[in-house]
Amino acid sequence: MANYKITLLKGDGIGPEIVNQAVKVLDKAAEKFDFTVEYDEALLGGCAIDATGVPLPEETVAKCKASDSVILGAVGGPKWDNQPGNNRPEAGLLGIRGALGLFANLRPSVIFGPLKSASPIKDEIIGDNMDIMIVRELTGGIYFGERGRDDDSAWDTEKYSVAEVERIARVAFDMAMKRNKKLTSVDKANVLESSRLWRQTVINVSKDYPEVELNHMYVDNCAMQLVRNPKQFDVIVTSNIFGDILSDEASMIAGSIGMLASASLSGGKLGLYEPIHGSAPDIAGKGIANPLATILSVAMMLRYSLAQPEAAEAIEAAVAKVLETDRTPDIYEEGLNKVSCEEMGDLVCAQL
């Protein structure tokens, strides 16, 4: 019987509550699909600053590296806003991405049938469905390039190597092959040298994927097209900073931020799975947070890191079913049952 070692980085704000529900669902899935899970906890973000003085203690990196996969709640909050830049909760997040080599960030923007009306976009544009997968490069570009100050100026470097672009392009093409064989590469090749290298490298990699229809789009145009007609996109691949902006835009277009999961993958099996929403300090501890994005992140983990696709599908189906009748306050609609974070976890387990 397979046994998986999972590190939990509960983090700050609502992080602990939502991760607890995700663990409950994962345990239930383990029971049903005949595997076992062993958990360890480690500190990241604000809670790590409070306990150790730094947002990413070495012990956390070691524990994550020794595990099969990592589940993250959320980090940050006003309490740590006055920390210097390199010692903020976010620095811990960037640090763990770098330390674990999590170069590929998969961010699906999907609309869950019963939540269709949550999109700010008109019904005639969104139609019955929207399903975009953004593949964002996560350990390169301006996030990790050299930066500094001289005299009265400050600078950051957007830098990409051919190898960095190649490996993220392969992840995107592989994803496109599993979906609708359509890939949009987003860059700013009319201005940036790094984008020209990006585009040329993506074109070179495309020769290994003759079945995938590849097109290129400038980032400013993509920001427009996501609003104008999101359904034209299937898989999008882009750099770290453009991916940061476009994936947030796309997730808002899908509506319900509280529902969206993400995966950050390394070359091997090890991945980090987290909801795309933040730590929501204003509702932390009140028991009203929506745990579904974290539960759906567990489904992504089962699919991408633990090779348990059936368990992943079962969780996704259970979530879809529960949504028909029960909702946390953030996605509540008249006529349905309003439930707490914990009740939502229980309902998904029961449905499983």
**109, 103, 105, 241: which is closest to 165 by C-alpha?**
103
The answer to whether the annotation marks 280 as part of a ligand binding site is: yes
- Site for a second copy contains 170 (CB under 8 A): no
Binding residue for a second copy (CB under 8 A) from 249, 342, 343, 346?
249
Which residues are catalytic, by number?
143, 188, 220, 244, 248
CB of 108 to a second copy, least distance (A): 16
Q: CA-to-CA distance for 108 and 105, rounded, in angstroms?
A: 10
- Site for ligand IPM contains 90 (CB under 6 A): yes
CB of 47 to ligand IPM, least distance (A): 16
Distances (CA, A) of 46 to 13, 21, 79: 9, 21, 8
User: Reduced to 3 states, what is the DSSP secondary structure of residue 198?
Assistant: helix
Residues 185-214 that bind a second copy (CB under 8 A): 188-194, 196-198
Q: Are 240 and 251 in contact (CB under 8 A)?
A: no
What is the total count of residues that contact a second copy (CB under 8 A)? 58
The answer to whether the annotation marks 337 as part of a ligand binding site is: no
Q: CA-to-CA distance for 176 and 72, rounded, in angstroms?
A: 26
- Site for ligand IPM contains 190 (CB under 6 A): yes
Q: CA-to-CA distance for 242 and 141, rounded, in angstroms?
A: 10
Q: CA-to-CA distance for 20 and 345, rounded, in angstroms?
A: 9
CB of 227 to a second copy, least distance (A): 4
List all residues 6 or more positions away from 94 whose beta carbon is below 8 Å from its beta carbon: 143, 144
- Site for ligand IPM contains 85 (CB under 6 A): no
- Site for ligand IPM contains 93 (CB under 6 A): yes
CB of 38 to ligand IPM, least distance (A): 27
Q: CA-to-CA distance for 110 and 166, rounded, in angstroms?
A: 26
Nearer to a second copy, 15 or 243 (CB): 243
Could you tell me which residues are beta bridge partners of residue 105? Answer: 136, 264
- Site for a second copy contains 147 (CB under 8 A): yes
Q: Give the single-character DSSP code of 109.
A: E
DSSP E strand stretches across 201-349? 213-218, 235-238, 261-265, 271-275, 326-327, 337-338
- Site for a second copy contains 241 (CB under 8 A): yes
Nearer to a second copy, 39 or 332 (CB): 332
Q: Which residue is nearest to ligand IPM (CB)?
A: 90
- Site for ligand IPM contains 350 (CB under 6 A): no
- Tokens of residue 239, six digits: 């750099």
Q: Are 73 and 96 in contact (CB under 8 A)?
A: no
In the annotated binding site for NAD(+), the residues are 77-90, 278-290
Binding residues for a second copy, rule: CB under 8 A, are 85, 88, 90, 94, 120-122, 125, 142-143, 145, 147-149, 151-163, 188-194, 196-198, 219-221, 223-228, 241-242, 244-249, 251-253, 257
Residues tagged in the binding site annotation for substrate = 97, 107, 136, 220
